[in-house]
Amino acid sequence: AAGNVATLRWLQSQGVPLSHVNAARHGAIVKAAWKGHCEALQWLLFALDGPQLTDQLLLLDLEGRTVSQLVQLNGQHDVASWLQVHIDEQRRSMQPQSEAYA
C-alpha cells in the first residue's frame, strides 16, 4: 500500500487481513513504521475505521526486538520515539490495577 491510507482502507474492504503477522513476527505496524509511513501507522493503530492493531505494539520479532527497536535500525528515530510512547502506554494498560499503582 506504500503508506497510502486510502489503499489500506480499500484492502481492508476487500477482506485483506491487515492483522497478519509473518514468520519473522513482522506485521503491518512494522512495515509501515520501517518506511516512516506515519499517517498509515496512525490509521493502522488508532483509526475507528481501521484495524486498530495496538496488540502488535507488544509483539517481539524473532530477535526479541520491539517495533520501536526495529525501526531505529532503519534510521526512523522520530517514528521509533513516537512508537515507544504508545508501547509504554500499551504495557501500562495491560498491567493489573494493583501493579500499576505499586
- The CATH code for residues 5-97 is 1.25.40.20
Task: Specify the pLDDT at position 51.
Answer: 97
Task: Specify the pLDDT at position 101.
Answer: 57
Task: Specify the pLDDT at position 13.
Answer: 96
Q: Can you give the pLDDT of all 102 residues of the chain as single tens digits?
A: 567 999 999 999 999 999 999 999 999 999 999 999 999 999 999 999 999 999 999 999 999 999 999 999 999 999 999 999 999 999 898 887 655 555
Closest CA to 58 of 83, 75, 32: 83
Task: Specify the pLDDT at position 98.
Answer: 59
Model pTM greater than 0.75? yes
- φ, ψ for residue 18, nearest 5 deg: -70, -10
Q: How far apart (Å, rounded) are the C-alpha atoms in residues 8 and 100? A: 35
